[in-house]
Amino acid sequence: MPIHLKNISKSYHTAKALNNISIEIEDGKTTVLIGPSGSGKSTLIRIITGLIPADEGEIVINGEKLNESDLILLRQKMGYVIQEGGLFPHLKAHNNVSLMAKYLGWTKNKIEKRITELCGLTKFPADGLGKYPAELSGGQKQRVSLMRALMLDPQILLLDEPLGSLDPLIRYELQNDLKEIFRNLKKTVVMVTHDLSEAAFFSDKIVLMKDGAIIQSGLITELVKSPADNFVVSFIKAQRSFIEPERINE
Amino acid sequence: MSKLIYFLVFVCSFAYLNTAKEKDTVHVVKVGSKKFTEGVILGEIIYRLAGNSYKNVQHLKELGGTRILWSALINGEIDIYPEYTGTIKEEIFAGKIRTEEELRDNLRDFGIEMSEPLGFNNTYALGMKKNRAQEFDIQKISDLHKHRELKLGLSNEFMDRRDGWPGLQQTYNLSQENVTGMDHDLAYRGLENGSIDVIDIYSTDAEIKYYNIKVLEDDLNYFPEYKAVILYRSGLRKNLPNVVSSILRLEGNVPESSMVSMNAKAKIDLIPEGAVAAAFIEKFGFKTEFIRDSFLKRLLYYTKEHIYLVLVSLVPAVLFSIPVGILAYRKKKISNFILGLTGIIQTIPSLALLVFMIPLLGIGSWPAIAALFLYSLLPIVRNTYSGLQNIPLHIKESAEVLGLSWFYKLWLIELPLALPSILAGIKTSAVINVGTATLGALIGAGGYGQPILTGIRLDNIPLILEGAVPAAILALAVQWFFDLLEKFIIPRGLRT
């Protein structure tokens, strides 16, 4: 499902969070929104979910304009994963994942089959399904959160800093697993991150934002080779590699 | 969440069964009495005399003051109660009536009959400790005029009765500034320990002799006569003439000396009023036995009444408050209004709220239950609201994005997450209810308040403890019960 954002603007009180943004998010591709804090990337992804309304502009998903009345149905075609996981603490992992399927009246067999499938896909150990979120590690929580997002096999996957709070080793592992999932499932993925190397790793297309506007979008190589302005140059430069020449020579 | 609902349904059906049992088709003759010893003794005597010719007689003791008993009588919630002519003239008919004939006619308009006087006059008077009176050289009420520094402790009813303090102050031109309203039974103790100098007394009070009190002469004849009479509903004469003729034997047969000595037996010697009454009516050739229930039986009875009050008020409060709390959470425009309103209800003094309920619901357990219901609202409404409000934003948004309808989002996610807070609110309400319910005895609701009330009246500490200690234990038990309930109802994932 392609998503077209047309001339989206959003203000909080007097501060402009998004200023006339237009993006085409391609079907089956991974689009990464990146930028410094306050650039509007999270606001944008939350506008796509309908959590906050845009002041101006329109969102067209699969050729249809997003409106309040069919938001509930549309959301069942979206999976959403956030940094904190957003798991419901009163429900065991299994119930967190199966909640919507039960609500929609899936049979028990169908639910169990799907969960087994998802455990394999997300490499989540089946014996963890009986645990409450508080009993899971950070990485496991994100895997469960991903399972919940994928349960109904949605067309669109929205991820807001999904790996932001994980420690580096687990983060590395999950990055690999996630990329494999995206490649296999061919979903339309929109991911928000502030880490350029993560963006480079996942993205088919990068959208670099600053102060509520898009500075440049395209492939990572395009951003590196032909930066649109000095901000792009310094943003790329700011992603310091530890293998900087002077340190290796020490 | 569903566990909580099962639990409430269980409690509801239990409470319903309990009420269903209490319904009775046979007419019960109800004798009422005011919250002071002489009233209770007379009530006991009437109750025993009536009981001699009719099986279903009940005595509702210590029902507060004149207003409560009078409205209960004209509403048919009680059939009989002892009263005083002065009180009827001044307090009920606001001083517009002169003769006894006029009085009878006016009472008949309300469907009430008045007996002939029982034989003694229990007038209001002012009293001081004899030594204190000597010290100031006070013999009569007019002498008080010269001593502005004297501290007056007047019974609450006397403070604002037509024939009480306001008129007295005017008639004698009294200018004391230190005038406090208090419970009549506590006033004697205040007098004894010197914290007050002058109190209002009833002329038949046994304490006059016991505490060595000088009765100040009413030299300007301010106080009217307070001849004891029996008021009863006219219908009683028609339907149960035997009962009426039985109780009317008291007419002219209770001389002042007998009344003072009965008061002394009850208040000073701490003989139960029932026993005092039983001994008195033997002279009419009636034998009635006075059996005092064992401590355990009394305790059981009061406990049952008390728990009934708490349960029957709390359960509807829970069922009402949770939806109201949800409404306050969902409709931001009216949430301040809802929380403000329940907050205001909470600030009404409990005694006042109880008395407000009487014109609407009469006396007995219902007005008390209604008042307790209202008091239970705030903690539950507020905790439901704040429990929902305080769910972390990322959890709320995750729920929102799933694509559940608002109802299922509330039912499956928000309410379970707010459950610990809601349960804490119910616990607060329950514990407050156990305490407040003790006041219900003032309007005839029974419960642990009954022995407390009697104990205060008789200055009998063990009797006060008989109500106060179980009430405290019950409050702790309720607390403990809810702590236990939390373990069953709150999911493991939410327990910290």
Buried b (16+ CB within 10 A) or exposed e, B115-142: bebbbbbbbbbbbbbeebbeeeebeebb
For residue B430, being part of any structural domain is answered with yes
For residue B9, being part of any structural domain is answered with no
pLDDT at B3 (0 to 100): 65
Q: Which two tokens stand for residue A206?
A: 């990068």
List, in sequence order, every residue forming a beta bridge with A56; answer none if it has no partner: A9
Instruction: Give the span between the Cα atoms of B216 and B128, in whole angstroms.
Output: 8
For residue B19, being part of any structural domain is answered with no
Same domain, B309 and B434: yes
Same domain, B457 and B379: yes
Q: Which two tokens stand for residue B178?
A: 């230190």
Same domain, B388 and B489: yes
pLDDT at B458 (0 to 100): 80
Residue in A closest to B393 by C-alpha: A86
Contacts of B106 (CB under 8 A, 6+ apart): B93, B97
Q: In CATH, what number is assigned to the domain containing residue B152?
A: 3.40.190.120
Q: Do A88 and B397 touch (CB under 8 A)?
A: no
Kindly give the pairing relationship between strand A56-61 and strand B152-155.
unpaired
**B-chain residues near A78 (CB < 8 A):** 401, 403
Question: HEC states along chain A?
Answer: CCEEEEEEEEEECCEEEEEEEEEEECCCCEEEEECCCCCCHHHHHHHHHCCCCCCEEEEEECCEECCHHHHHHHHCCEEEEECCCCCCCCCCHHHHHHHHHHHCCCCHHHHHHHHHHHHHHHCCCHHHHHCCHHHCCHHHHHHHHHHHHHCCCCCEEEEECCCCCCCHHHHHHHHHHHHHHHHHHCCEEEEEECCHHHHHHHCCEEEEEECCEEEEEECHHHHHHCCCCHHHHHHHHHCCCCCCHHHHCC
pLDDT digits (tens, 9 = 90+) for A78-111: 899 998 888 999 999 999 999 999 999 999 999 9
Q: Find the domain containing B168 and state its range.
A: 124-216
Residue in A closest to B400 by C-alpha: A51
B23 band by pLDDT with thresholds 50, 70 and 90: very low
A55 burial (CB, 10 Å; 0-12 / 13-18 / 19+) is middle
pLDDT digits (tens, 9 = 90+) for B377-418: 999 999 999 999 999 999 999 998 888 888 999 999 999 999
Q: Do B398 and A80 touch (CB under 8 A)?
A: yes
For residue B17, being part of any structural domain is answered with no
Q: Is the pLDDT of residue B89 over 80?
A: yes
Residue in B closest to A84 by C-alpha: B394
Same domain, B339 and B469: yes
Same domain, B143 and B253: no
**Count of structural domains within chain B:** 3
**A-chain residues near B491 (CB < 8 A):** 90-91, 132
Q: Is the pLDDT of residue B1 over 70?
A: no
Using CB atoms, which residue from A72, A74, A86 is nearest to B398?
A86
Tell me which of B194, B216, B238 is where a domain ends: B216
Same domain, B316 and B358: yes
Please state the pTM of the whole predicted model. Answer: 0.78
For residue B15, being part of any structural domain is answered with no
Residue in B closest to A133 by C-alpha: B493
Q: In CATH, what number is assigned to the domain containing residue B77?
A: 3.40.190.10
Using CB atoms, which residue from B400, B403, B413 is nearest to A76?
B403
Buried b (16+ CB within 10 A) or exposed e, A27-39: eebbbbbbbeeeb
Helix (H, G, I), strand (E, B) or coil at B29: strand
Helix (H) or strand (E) holding B201: strand B198-202
Distances from the Cα of B442 to the Cα of B36, B78, B434, angstroms:
12, 15, 15
Same domain, B321 and B393: yes
Give residue for tokens 């969440």. Answer: B1
- Portion of chain B with pLDDT greater than 70, in percent: 95
Same domain, B110 and B130: no
- How many whole angstroms from its chain centre is CA B436? 11
Same domain, B351 and B435: yes
Residues in chain B: 496
Give yes or no for a contact between B401 and B338, defined as CB atoms under 8 angstroms apart: no
List, in sequence order, every residue forming a beta bridge with B30; answer none if it has no partner: B58
- In this structure, of A97-111, A154-168, A206-220, B345-359, the range with the lowest mean pLDDT score is B345-359
Q: Can you spell out the DSSP letters for B108-144?
A: HHTTEEEPPP-S-B--EEEEEEHHHHHHHT--BGGGG
For residue B5, being part of any structural domain is answered with no
Helix (H, G, I), strand (E, B) or coil at B227: strand
Q: Which two tokens stand for residue B186?
A: 């506590």
Q: Do B416 and A87 touch (CB under 8 A)?
A: no
Instruction: Give the span between the Cα atoms of A89 and B460, in whole angstroms.
Output: 55
Instruction: Give the neighbor-by-neighbor strand order of the sheet with B80-84.
Output: B57-60, B29-32, B80-84, B228-233, B112-114
Average pLDDT over residues B142-149: 89
For residue B11, being part of any structural domain is answered with no
Min Cα separation A13/chain B (Å): 19
Tell me which of B188, B216, B244 is where a domain ends: B216
B394 burial (CB, 10 Å; 0-12 / 13-18 / 19+) is middle
Q: In CATH, what number is assigned to the domain containing residue B369?
A: 1.10.3720.10
Using CB atoms, which residue from A83, A103, A132 is nearest to B493?
A132
Kindly give the pairing relationship between strand A64-65 and strand A205-210.
unpaired
pLDDT digits (tens, 9 = 90+) for B237-295: 888 999 999 899 999 999 988 999 999 999 888 888 999 999 998 877 777 777 778 88
B496 band by pLDDT with thresholds 50, 70 and 90: low
Q: Do A91 and B493 touch (CB under 8 A)?
A: yes
- Please give the span between the terminal C-alpha atoms of chain B, in angstroms, as a whole number: 18
A228 in contact with chain B, both atoms CB, cutoff 8 A: no
Same domain, B375 and B479: yes
Same domain, B117 and B53: yes
Tell me which of B284, B314, B330 is where a domain ends: B284
Same domain, B299 and B245: no
Q: Average pLDDT, whole number, for chain A?
A: 88
For residue B86, being part of any structural domain is answered with yes
